[in-house]
């Protein structure tokens, strides 16, 4: 595939932050992956130098250290599934087999005592994660975590069906799949656990709060698609990425697809900021903490994404930015032309603008 795409500094109005214990957390995650034999020896050798513990330390910069460690170990586990089972493994080309394996895995997450997948290292790692999650989660948060794993698993099965036929979905389907296959929603229960609170379900599941969370998923995965394009397009295997989707659907060159995708994530970032600020002004202290950590999740993925060897690939360096910028390339408050998510632009009450020439208020979207 095309090489040499230069990714520009992207719009990031969220300040960087990192947990002071990031080095210890990162080292413990390497030890954890070795203890549980996460991934094949070749995959594990790569994963343990990707600074995944540092990523978790950026997502929860002021979180409880034990929970940051759970998050770090969980992310390396997720890469064991996403890289090991799905993108590089045989099951990833066989959705019918993959759905069974992931359903068994889900049973282990729900009830770590079931005598299933007894010889499976990923299942053993998941059992350990589940026991540790239980220590810091309420039963409701445990259930959310399992439900989020299910939506991640469902989306990677969808992805596997495209991989098995080497097809590329259209933008709307890709967006819907990508909201979940980036494993972003599975991180959210840990944001709450990291600060020892439980968001009231009526607040967490309100339309505007759900939309804000989905916007974070979108920004994180679009950014990942920009930063991982080099790694993904040069590997000799099937890959799905928004740049590839746009190239395919709209007959764009990689450079055109890049500026298109940047504009999309900039517009969603502008909306995220507005919705976040509006919700924070009227929400509970718990909601304010949650919104704060949606922001640190976005920013943490960016800081990690431009610096981790996973994406910079030092043996064949990617042209990634070393900084971010303060202004969006597109600040339009029009909804994106993607039906699955266009409703995000309707969650804020209509803004009133004063029209001096008419001497009266007019509402605008
Ligand atoms: C991401 O997509 C795959 C996830 C399973 C990675 C685990 C990451 C998280 C739980 C946090 C979200 C962070 C992101 C999306 C960076 P993809 O494109 O397969 O990731 P890759 O690293 O291979 O580009
Ligand atoms: Mg993937
Ligand atoms: Mg991947
Ligand atoms: Mg508990
Ligand atoms: Mg990627």
Domain segments of the chain as ranges: 22-325
ipTM: 0.91
Residue 28 pLDDT class (50, 70, 90 cuts): very high
Going 135 to 137 to 143 to 148, the CA torsion angle's sign is: negative
Both tokens of 233, joined, read 């397009």
* Residue 2, pLDDT score: 46
Ligand (nearest to CA of 143): 4
Both tokens of 302, joined, read 């960016």
CATH number of 22-325: 1.10.600.10
Whether pLDDT at 354 is above 70: no
* Residue 356, pLDDT score: 56
Going 107 to 113 to 115 to 116, the CA torsion angle's sign is: positive
Contacts of 192 (CB under 8 A, 6+ apart): 141, 198, 199, 286, 290
Ligand 1 pocket member 228 (CB < 6 A) = yes
Among 56, 182, 226, 232, residue to substitute to test ligand 1 (most atoms within 8 Å of Cβ): 182
Digit-coded pLDDT (tens) for 192-207: 999 999 999 999 999 9
* Residue nearest to ligand 1 atom 21, measured at CA: 228
* Residue 248, pLDDT score: 97
CA separation for the pair 135, 49 (Å, rounded): 28
Ligand 1 pocket member 220 (CB < 6 A) = yes
* Residue 13, pLDDT score: 98
- CA torsion angle for 269, 275, 279, 281 (degrees, to 10)? 90
Ligand 1 pocket member 89 (CB < 6 A) = no
* Residue nearest to ligand 1 atom 24, measured at CA: 228
Three-state DSSP at 355 gives strand
Ligand 1 pocket member 155 (CB < 6 A) = no
Ligand 1 pocket member 224 (CB < 6 A) = yes
Whether pLDDT at 93 is above 50: yes
């Amino acid at each position: 595939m095309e090489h040499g795409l230069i990714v520009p500094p992207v719009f990031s109005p969220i300040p960087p932050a990192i947990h002071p214990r990031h080095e210890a957390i990162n080292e413990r995650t390497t030890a954890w992956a070795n203890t549980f034999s996460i991934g094949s020896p070749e995959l594990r050798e790569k994963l343990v130098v990707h600074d995944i513990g540092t990523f978790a330390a950026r997502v929860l910069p002021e979180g409880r250290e034990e929970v940051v460690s759970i998050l770090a170990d969980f992310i390396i586990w997720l890469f064991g599934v996403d890289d090991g089972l799905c993108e590089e493994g045989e099951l990833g080309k066989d959705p019918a087999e993959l759905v069974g394996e992931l359903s068994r895995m889900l049973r282990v997450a729900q009830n770590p005592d079931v005598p299933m997948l007894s010889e499976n290292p990923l299942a053993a790692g998941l059992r350990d994660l589940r026991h540790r999650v239980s220590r810091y989660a309420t039963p409701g948060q445990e259930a959310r975590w399992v439900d989020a794993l299910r939506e991640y698993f469902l989306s990677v099965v969808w992805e596997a069906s495209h991989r098995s036929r080497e097809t590329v979905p259209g933008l709307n389907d890709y967006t819907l799949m990508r909201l979940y296959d980036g494993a972003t929603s599975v991180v959210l229960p840990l944001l709450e656990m990291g600060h020892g609170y439980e968001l009231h379900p009526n607040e967490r599941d309100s339309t505007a709060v759900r939309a804000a969370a989905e916007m974070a998923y979108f920004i994180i995965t679009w950014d990942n698609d920009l930063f991982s394009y080099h790694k993904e397009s040069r590997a000799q295997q099937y890959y799905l990425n928004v740049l590839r989707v746009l190239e395919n659907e709209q007959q764009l060159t990689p450079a055109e697809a890049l500026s298109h995708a940047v504009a999309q994530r900039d517009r969603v970032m502008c909306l995220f900021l507005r919705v976040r600020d509006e919700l924070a002004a009227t929400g509970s202290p718990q909601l304010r903490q949650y919104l704060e950590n949606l922001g640190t999740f976005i920013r943490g993925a960016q800081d990690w994404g431009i610096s981790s060897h996973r994406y910079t690939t030092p043996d064949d360096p990617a042209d990634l930015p070393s900084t971010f910028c303060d202004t969006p390339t597109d600040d339009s408050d029009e909804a994106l032309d993607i039906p699955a998510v266009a409703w995000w632009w309707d969650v804020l009450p209509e803004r009133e603008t004063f029209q001096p020439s008419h001497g009266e208020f007019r509402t605008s979207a």
